[in-house]
Amino acid sequence: MKLVIENQLVTLKVLRQAWLEPVEVEISADARRRIAEANELVNEVVAGGKQVYGVNTGFGQLASVRINNHELAHLQENLVRSHSVGVGRDLGDEIVRLVMLMKVIALAEGFSGVRPELVEALCALINHEIYPRIPSQGSVGASGDLAPLAHMSGVLLGLGEAKVKGQILPASEALAGAGLVPLKLAPKEGLALLNGTQVSTALALAAVFRCENSLSAALVAGAMSSDAIKGSDTPFDRRIQNVRGHGGQIAVASVLRELMRGSEIRASHEHCERVQDPYSIRCQPQVMGACLDVLRHVCKVLQTEANAVTDNPLVFTDTQAVLSGGNFHAEPVALAADYLALAIAEIGALSERRIALLIDSHLSGLPAFLVKDGGLNSGFMMAQVTAVALASENKSLAHPASVDSLPTSANQEDHVSMSTFAARRLHDMLDNIVNIVAIELLAAAQGIGFHHPQQPSALLAGVIDAIRGLSPPYDTDRSLSSDIALVAQLIDGGYFCQYAASVLPAHNG
């Protein structure tokens, strides 16, 4: 994908593609003009001797310390060096690519005061697939994602390390291999690079994209479980959804109806004596629809943030003003991530309840634990225990991160958002639910098999074929660990999005 950064909204669909694969980026002529005009104003401020935070002063608690003009470049380089204190596992290349792309988007707006050459150097890293090594821990998401963005910025200066085609190299060697030379920073440029919410936002965006994969798979699994227990599709009737009016609920019910349309299993018990199904079957539109509405809200917040200018101070050429504010505070991202955590936990919780239903012969009407010769065989007994363990972990991980603020920088930064952790922990939760839903897909496929020769809908039959290509029917006890892993990879790879694409916000905007 080739992307020209202009003064227009970069959509979630484009950002999702940049997350999935390398992208070629350049800034438009108009963007270059805006950047240059703001940089000219910064140079005028420096020449005029006016004291401006971060341009010719220290940082944080040291903002009152005036820096001599001949030391301004050194000041910016020191900022990058001193703030490169991240720890923990490295962020994945796909996350780093999103971080750099969103930093380019922000700087290209022309409110940061940097040189066009700096933005073009960042584009060059993206285009040559040079991905700075960025440790995942160390940001509180308040004065921007300072530590991780410092590690990103260091590579521009030839500092630190980078990954090139999976190989870790010294930054200077990675640059030289692409025919690039290290930059020398000009006034304000280090601060413009380090201030910003791009790391938190990239982690949250990647979680949104993965959540769409998991939600789609959970809808398919829910439809399969409904057929496996000979459940009713009446609760998915559009009239029921319409009188409540929630958009997510209406959309989810529509997907479920389509997935079950033409099922021979459903037709076989149209007039059975069962009055109602358990909530995990009957209330899927209400629960999963609410989760979809959360996802849609989070997408709106993150699309705004992905296109936002979040460094400080900001340069306004129309009024010849350099203003210090707090756009670097990532509270919007933190709250959105916390909200999404609740939805992720609920997707997994509902899926686990359906697994429990499937293995309970008293409620499902299926063989106990979904296996013949129960007693000799334990079937899906322990697979459900694994799902319970993962669902329970997610309950703890769903605790909001944004309510936990500790002051930093000698109380100058006395409230922080914890957005980086709020977004990062979503991936642990998503790792859990892809496995929970994988277990349900295996269990539901096993349950449907007991109704042979009656068939599910054509759509669900196709899903079962895909599952059976990875995992044969469970005839006698064996380890399901590798089967679960393979189906989880199918989920996380987005296979099931084809069945719910019309309702997924990041796929459509």
Could you give the residue numbers annotated as active site? 53
Pairwise CA distance, residues 385 & 371, whole Å: 16
Q: Supply 99's token pair.
A: 């971080």
Interhelix angle 146-156/198-228, nearest 10 degrees: 110
DSSP bridge pairs for 144: 142
Q: Where are the alpha helices (DSSP H) in 264-283?
A: 264-267, 279-282
Q: Supply 424's token pair.
A: 């990062």
Residue with tokens 């030379």: 181
For residue 473, which of 384, 382, 380 has the smallest C-alpha distance? 380
Beta pairing class for 314-316 and 161-164: unpaired
Which DSSP helix (H) or strand (E) runs through 259?
Answer: helix 247-260
Q: Can you spell out the DSSP letters for 190-233?
A: HHHHHSSSHHHHHHHHHHHHHHHHHHHHHHHHHHHHHHHTT--S
428 to 11, 86, 224, 469: CA distances (angstroms)? 26, 19, 26, 27
- Residue 109, judged by CB atoms within 10 A of its CB (0-12, 13-18, 19+), counts as middle
Which DSSP helix (H) or strand (E) runs through 438?
Answer: helix 419-449
Beta pairing class for 87-90 and 135-137: antiparallel
The answer to whether the CB of 310 falls within 8 A of the CB of 196 is: yes
DSSP category for residue 264 = H
The percent of the chain in helix, strand and coil, each rounded to the nearest 5, is: 60, 10, 35
Phi and psi angles of residue 57, each rounded to the nearest 5 degrees, phi first: -130, 170
The answer to whether the CB of 311 falls within 8 A of the CB of 329 is: no
